[in-house]
Structure 1
């Protein structure tokens, strides 16, 4: 079995160059095949190009987003551009297209081989293989420019955080937990300084009692990468629109959704509108409750502002459900949560996670685990955990898929799947155990849900279908489904113990937490649909007719009860406008499917038989079948909207 050695800063360029050279050599092999080469021979030669590059994009993404050395991050970005350029060149290679087109698909008995040729031909047509030379040259130029400008957009967000100084020092942190205050010691002048990164932003906006400070801090958070990213975003929108037009599509939204489950921008918008209509009344009632609570202290209040939302929601939950989210933090020390998430995954899927301290990583805090069969014999996968914040690192939470697992005719053709989690959870230091909010525990389950999907999807002989290679609007299903385990009493009581007393988290506290979670989901859903609508509209219309700021404000006024805050430019720090482009709707699309899959567990999340069937029919299949077929095979029926509607209206 091939196991890719983790690259280092010193050998990153040779590592990438060797992969690209190998891919070019395999491309030459494919072109050298006889015109009457057997279909399976063409499939193997075509797949060999992808195998040469397997995981390279993921490794470069890790180094570009997480390596502590800025020069190394720059090298990784340059190599990402080279990889993208080769991908564009390959996608417009008429000789490769001709080789695939000569294969008689009906003569292929192997289902994966047929699918490989069919998808290859589809993707070549979507890339512009049939366009004239001038159009093809413009496509190449547009794709090159989009990679570079997209990197700039992401870089501005990563480095565009702001410092927020509280002159009155610790007094301005009233309402925050003691460990948060301790981790923000006063400067010589008595002031304390916050970053606008999530590890500071979420607790401060939720618990700080001083409304004036929350308002000012919210302004700082919502001007991240402003004004730098305003022209960058407009350029991304313009270039994508031109590229879509060159490829024969009316808009980028139509182009990017054509090969997804939604099939078109119009279908995606119809879905968003359907969910918005379903959530509207509940969201309005929840907003009224926030306003009613605010009026207890300010009887003249006429609205709730965005910077009050999290704080007031916390107060309403305490009032209605006697639940304080800070009360659960002592049960969620980082190391306990990490070990609990791992142990849950071991039991559920019948595997073992073994710590491996022999593997070099890109930062000393990164942990490595090997996943093995339950008896410890078979080496199934390797994962990396880069879980704590630091300067120059990606600011949110994500899974980076490196090597996709592959089957082979013999062991030398097999590839060990590898991947990494990149998060920003509290870091244990000294006597501070790194206490997490339950929202962060849920995020941990979410991201490892992505990672397990990638690592377990290793039944394919072709790299095209290995790893997370389903339609994009299915990608969030395994991750959002696994969030449910973070709410299960039995699961939590296995690992959530008080960091001082060792007492398991009490069942009444979990029950209160679950009841409180029901509050606010209407507002959460319409907020997500606002983001989805914004991302669709930016890419459905002609960018020349769109002022992104004006459209953002207009959509907020149309869909959200919280007024726009003058001087805020959320869109500049909304990284999904680049990475997901028009497809932010996929989070809710996937949640609808996840709620339906959840129903198969019938309340018993640790049911080994259902988990095994989920592994067999969904996780392990990768892209070997359409996502709708994966779901239908698991459920024994077509996917339904009913479970989601029931959850939202509960």
Structure 2
């Protein structure tokens, strides 16, 4: 009987640590056996070595996923206990001089006999060993190992502090006037009955709730209270940031880089720090004049009120509605969650020829999670898991996480890919469907872009299959590319149907949505550039004063100065608990690629285009097996053009 193509989602929290320790010990034994081989080759050494890492991901990913989507005291305990074991193992392997030497010997003796995919696996492994310090003396290796362990602990604590602070905050409203004029669905989601039998409304720092009041809440004092709660979360993370920065700099210098920014770029498309800062400053210069006009218009519209950061979303929504006659609440009935998902799948079918069908009888971690199988030309290719609704046990935000990677194993058997998409959309109930904002639709398209980048890879080496091996400043290219289609009229009409009447969204509503797309786009651009310049500058400084660096960047980019109590950095998990340290610029870098490719396909007519199929084969199919610079050139037959991003954003430089 052939093996099932996809792994079952199984996590035994009671035995997980023992099982993990056994898995790691078996890995050590297998590596020792590989190193004992006298005549090492790609087939007998590199391939089994690579598959060891793949199978460790198979084992650990469900636990990591559960910790993020069903967080509990037990998952925290197990995850915290697992981190040092994994970090020690990863450091031990990454610094193993024998493995590093074996890779270099195979490159020297047989590189020209290998496929391009295999050559890239060799090159990326050698680079990885050097970045891990495999070539250093024992004292330096020991210190790097200590730093790696400590950094993983700090990252986990940063995330947990943020989650705890988010869940601990709530603001209860008892006066109906304080929710007057808000969307009906948001009022219903917040409503509860007090012990006295009266109706009250609770708002939290969970994204759907927080955004709802900041955008529509009529009471300015309550908006400020929520804003202050959000921007002062987890003050204890300030010390974690200081220690994290110091450790990153120390580790970078141990392996030969002057700053962590330089070390970060070793695995990216951008050549050097000057290139990154020049790119970001070019966009800032191009956006500033329009951003100032947008803010002046907002101030004028707000009237006598002294405009503050906690006012911008509220007055911005009113101004947008006034200018474009657009009301987000009017759109939400057309974006019922299930309809959006089905329409998204139909869109992928028309764009790439991918068919997505429900996977039956799959046991998952939560009753609202679902599983779907992907087919191309009638052939099963991958599995996608969706977990889209907010709940207290799920960390905030939205993300894609890969599980299995497409590849051939040691015996030449094909392994199919799988991945998770997690969002925090308004929860559904027996009486209320999950109705999305259009921003939620864009988010789903974005994360799906990440997912299909991993799932539709045709690469046979797991280390460069899907999102593996892709430069970090190119990782967002496929996600941003796909999200742009969430504004295309042909795409919207596939799923934007009123959940009660079944009426398809009108051309007038689509036109207003498209025209409003770039509302305050220069202000938004400058806000993201603030994050990116802050991140990159912070990782170039010798001994950075975090607040001073942020204040200096805000003088350059911020149109609206935040209150002094705003400590957004303590919640900036992208760079202090995620993979974007000295890499947040990647969002804008990749947006140039995505805008360029998007316009090329739209100009051909969106569906059934030759370029769409080429994108499937070249960008999605080739994964990380070649540099994205090479793949982009193969797709477009030219270099990317920055002007495409300004055009997409409606910014006239």
TM norm structure 1: 0.94
What root-mean-square deviation, in Å, do the aligned CA atoms of Structure 1 and Structure 2 show? 2.0
Distance 1:442 1:643 in 2: 19
Distance 2:602 2:434 in 1: 34
Counterpart selection for 2:255 from 231, 241, 247: 247
Does 2:78 align with 1:75? yes
The answer as to whether partners of 1:24 and 1:49 remain within 8 angstroms in 2 is no
Does 2:202 align with 1:198? no
Distance 2:86 2:383 in 1: 24
Counterpart selection for 2:296 from 263, 288, 310: 288
Does 2:449 align with 1:445? no
1:405 corresponds in structure 2 to 406
Does 2:37 align with 1:33? yes
The answer as to whether partners of 2:171 and 2:226 remain within 8 angstroms in 1 is no
| Aligned pairs, number | 638
- Residue ranges of structure 1 left out of the alignment (5+ in a row): none
CA deviations 1:586-630 (Å, max 9, x no partner) are 111111110111122134222343221101010111111001001
C-alpha displacement at 1:22, in angstroms? 4.2
CA deviations 1:204-252 (Å, max 9, x no partner) are 1111122222122211111121x22111111111111111111111111
Distance 1:435 1:557 in 2: 39
2:101 corresponds in structure 1 to 98
1:636 corresponds in structure 2 to 637
Distance 1:163 1:172 in 2: 18
1:476 corresponds in structure 2 to 476
2:147 corresponds in structure 1 to 142
SS in 1 for 2:203: strand
2:366 corresponds in structure 1 to 363
1:159 corresponds in structure 2 to 164
C-alpha displacement at 1:492, in angstroms? 1.0
C-alpha displacement at 1:12, in angstroms? 4.1
C-alpha displacement at 1:39, in angstroms? 4.8
2:219 corresponds in structure 1 to 210
CA deviations 1:160-188 (Å, max 9, x no partner) are 11433244333211231112111222434
C-alpha displacement at 1:523, in angstroms? 0.5
Does 2:378 align with 1:380? no
SS in 2 for 1:139: helix
C-alpha displacement at 1:478, in angstroms? 0.7
1:350 corresponds in structure 2 to 353
Q: Residues 200 and 317 (structure 1 numbering): CA distance in 2 closer, same or farther, change over 3 Å? A: same
SS in 2 for 1:347: helix
SS in 2 for 1:475: coil
Distance 2:495 2:466 in 1: 32
The answer as to whether partners of 2:352 and 2:608 remain within 8 angstroms in 1 is no
- Shifted more, 343-352 versus 562-571: the winner is 343-352
2:130 corresponds in structure 1 to 125
1:182 corresponds in structure 2 to 188
Q: Residues 466 and 179 (structure 1 numbering): CA distance in 2 closer, same or farther, change over 3 Å? A: closer
SS in 2 for 1:540: coil
The answer as to whether partners of 1:9 and 1:72 remain within 8 angstroms in 2 is no
The answer as to whether partners of 1:368 and 1:382 remain within 8 angstroms in 2 is yes
CA deviations 1:284-338 (Å, max 9, x no partner) are 111111011112xx1xx5x631111111221221222222222111101111112
C-alpha displacement at 1:15, in angstroms? 5.5
C-alpha displacement at 1:395, in angstroms? 0.9
Q: Residues 233 and 588 (structure 1 numbering): CA distance in 2 closer, same or farther, change over 3 Å? A: same
Distance 2:524 2:591 in 1: 13
Distance 2:298 2:27 in 1: 58
Distance 2:628 2:63 in 1: 28
The answer as to whether partners of 1:334 and 1:426 remain within 8 angstroms in 2 is no
Does 2:336 align with 1:336? no
Distance 2:53 2:581 in 1: 25
CA deviations 1:369-426 (Å, max 9, x no partner) are 1223453xx3211121111111221111011111111135756x32121111111101
C-alpha displacement at 1:427, in angstroms? 1.9
C-alpha displacement at 1:460, in angstroms? 2.5
- Shifted more, 135-144 versus 117-126: the winner is 117-126
C-alpha displacement at 1:553, in angstroms? 3.0
C-alpha displacement at 1:149, in angstroms? 0.8
1:256 corresponds in structure 2 to 264
5 Å matches for 1:460-609?
460-543=460-543, 546-578=544-576, 579=578, 580-603=580-603, 604-609=605-610
CA deviations 1:333-374 (Å, max 9, x no partner) are 111112211222233222322222422222222111122345
Distance 2:611 2:402 in 1: 26
SS in 2 for 1:147: helix
The answer as to whether partners of 1:401 and 1:420 remain within 8 angstroms in 2 is yes
Distance 2:466 2:335 in 1: 34
Distance 1:77 1:346 in 2: 41
Distance 2:111 2:394 in 1: 49
- Shifted more, 11-20 versus 517-526: the winner is 11-20
C-alpha displacement at 1:645, in angstroms? 3.0
Counterpart selection for 2:28 from 24, 29, 33: 24
Distance 1:151 1:184 in 2: 30
The answer as to whether partners of 2:614 and 2:635 remain within 8 angstroms in 1 is yes
The answer as to whether partners of 1:404 and 1:417 remain within 8 angstroms in 2 is yes
Does 2:174 align with 1:168? yes
Distance 1:244 1:312 in 2: 45
